[in-house]
A and B are shown apart, each in its own frame.
Chain A
Amino acid sequence: MNFLSVRDLTVRLKGGPTLLHRVSLDVGAGQVRGLVGESGAGKSMIGRAVLGILPPSVEVVGGQIWLDGIDLLAMPPKLRRKRVGALAALIPQDPLTALNPSHRIGPQITDRLVDILGWQRGDAQERAAQLLAEVHIPNPARVMRSYPHELSGGMRQRVLIASAFAAEPKLIVADEPTTALDVTVQKQILALIAGMQARHNTAILFVTHDLGVVSKICQSLSVLYAGMVVEDAEIHSFFAAPRHAYSAALLRATPKYTDPTAGLVPVPDDVIAAVRAEVAAFEHGDQIV
Chain B
Amino acid sequence: MGIKLSDLFRVTDLRLQLSDMTAKPWIGAAPQIQILRGLSFDIPKGAAVGIVGGSGSGKSTLGRALVRLLEPSGGHIQFDGVDITHLSDAQLRPLRRRFQMIFQDPMSSLNPRHRVGTIIAEPLRLHHMGDIAARVAQSLDKVGLGQSFATRFPHELSGGQRQRVGIARAIALEPDFILADEIVSGLDVSSQAQVLNLLEKLVGDLGLTLAFISHDLSVIRRLCSQTIVMHQGQIVENSQTDRLFANPSADYTRDLLAAIPLPDPNQAWH
A residues near B (Cβ < 8 Å) are 38-39, 149-150, 152-153, 181-187, 190-191, 209-216, 235-236, 239, 249-251, 253-258, 260, 263-267
Contact = CB atoms under 8 A, between A and B. Distances in A.
Contacts of A265: 193
Nearest to B187: A39
A214 B7 CA distance: 42
18 contacts: A39-B188, A181-B55, A183-B54, A187-B269, A190-B261, A215-B261, A216-B265, A216-B267, A236-B266, A253-B193, A255-B222, A257-B217, A257-B221, A260-B221, A263-B193, A263-B222, A264-B222, A266-B190
Given A183-B259, A264-B222, A266-B197, A254 B189 contact: yes
B255 interface: yes
A149 B21 CA distance: 12
A258 B262 CA distance: 8
Given A253-B190, A266-B194, A184 B256 contact: yes
A266 B193 contact: yes
Interface string B203-229: 000000000000111110110000000
Contacts, number: 111
B247 to A, nearest CB: 14
A260 B244 CA distance: 13
A215 B262 contact: yes
Given A211-B189, A257-B245, 18 more contacts: A152-B56, A183-B54, A183-B216, A209-B188, A253-B189, A254-B263, A255-B192, A255-B193, A255-B222, A256-B262, A257-B262, A260-B245, A263-B193, A264-B192, A264-B196, A264-B197, A265-B193, A266-B190
Contacts of B218: 255-257, 263
Nearest to A190: B261
B153 to A, nearest CB: 19
Interface string B230-270: 00000000000000010000000001111111111111011
B159 A215 contact: no
B22 interface: yes
Nearest to A210: B261
A246 to B, nearest CB: 10
B71 to A, nearest CB: 26
Contacts of A149: 22
Nearest to B269: A216
B162 to A, nearest CB: 13
Given A181-B55, A185-B54, A253 B264 contact: no
A150 B192 CA distance: 33
Given A260-B222, A264-B193, A215 B54 contact: no
Interface residues of B, number: 37
A151 to B, nearest CB: 11
Contacts of B265: 215-216, 235-236, 239
Interface of B: 22, 54-56, 159, 188-194, 196-197, 215-219, 221-222, 245, 255-267, 269-270
Contact of A212 (B257, B263, B270): B263
Nearest to B190: A267
Contacts of B55: 152-153, 181-182, 185
Nearest to A213: B261
A215 B188 contact: no
B189 A250 contact: yes
B42 to A, nearest CB: 24
Nearest to B196: A264
B107 to A, nearest CB: 13
Nearest to A236: B265
A175 B193 CA distance: 23
B44 to A, nearest CB: 20
B256 A38 contact: no
A212 B261 contact: yes
Given A216-B265, A263-B218, A184 B259 contact: yes
Nearest to B261: A212
Contacts of A267: 190
Contacts of A153: 55
A267 B245 CA distance: 27
Best-buried of B22, B55, B56, B197 by chain A (most CB within 10 Å): B55
A236 B54 CA distance: 30
Contact of A239 (B215, B217, B263): B263
A210 to B, nearest CB: 7
A184 B52 CA distance: 12
Contact of B261 (A187, A249, A253, A263): A187
Contacts of A209: 188-189
Contact of B263 (A186, A215, A236, A264): A215
B238 to A, nearest CB: 18
A82 to B, nearest CB: 37
A150 B21 CA distance: 12
Best-buried of A190, A236, A260 by chain B (most CB within 10 Å): A260
